[in-house]
A = this chain, B = another copy of it.
Amino acid sequence: MADPEKRFETIIQKLRDNGHKITPQRMAIIKILAESKCHPSVEDIHDQIKNNFSTMSLATVYRNIVLIKSLGEILELGFPDGSNRYDGNKPYSHPHIICVKCKKIVDPDLDSLEDLKNELAVETNFKILNHRLDFFGICSNCMAEEV
C-alpha cells in the first residue's frame, strides 16, 4: 500500500498541473480516496464528508471521481449489483480477493500473474493493456466463525 500522504499530494499536484482548482470539498474527497480503506463507494465518501461538511453535494463527489479517473489517478471497480467502489491508493490494475461474508477486500501479491499474462498473450495474440481480476471466497476469520 502506498503512503496515503504521498498519494494525496500526487493527485493534488496532477490536478494543479492540469489547471484545476483545489477546493476544500475536493481535498476532502481526495483524502479519502488516497487512503481507500476498503475501497469506498460514492455513498461512503459522501457520508464520511457530510459529518464535517453538511452541505457537501453527492453530485460533487460524482464529478470529482469522473475528473480524477480521467487523470488516471483512481481505479474504478464496478460490480454486477451496480455498486461501484474506488481505489485511489493503487490506481492501476491489480488483483483483489473479496470475502463474500464480511465483504473485506484484500490486495494479494501474485508472482505467477506474469506467467498467466504471458500464456494469455501467446495463446490469443492480443496485446494486453490492463485487467480486472477478482477472486471471491471466504477469509480465514469468517471460516473460523462457521460452526
A residues engaging B (CB < 8 A)?
A: 76-82, 84, 95, 97, 99-100, 106, 108-113, 115-117, 119-120, 123-140, 143
Contacts and interface: CB of A to CB of B under 8 A. Distances in A.
Contact of A137 (B76, B95, B116, B126): B126
Contacts of A100: 129
Contact of A126 (B99, B119, B127, B134): B99
A127 B137 contact: yes
Contact of A143 (B76, B109, B127): B127
Nearest to A93: B136
A5 B33 CA distance: 48
B113 A126 contact: no
Contacts of A135: 117, 120, 126, 128, 130-131
A112 to B, nearest CB: 5
A133 B130 CA distance: 11
B137 A110 contact: no
Closest 9 CB pairs of A and B: A78-B80, A126-B137, A125-B140, A128-B137, A132-B134, A131-B135, A127-B138, A129-B137, A112-B116
Contacts of A132: 132-134, 136
A81 B80 contact: no
Given A106-B124, A112-B119, 10 more contacts: A78-B78, A108-B124, A112-B115, A115-B116, A125-B139, A126-B140, A128-B135, A130-B135, A130-B137, A131-B134
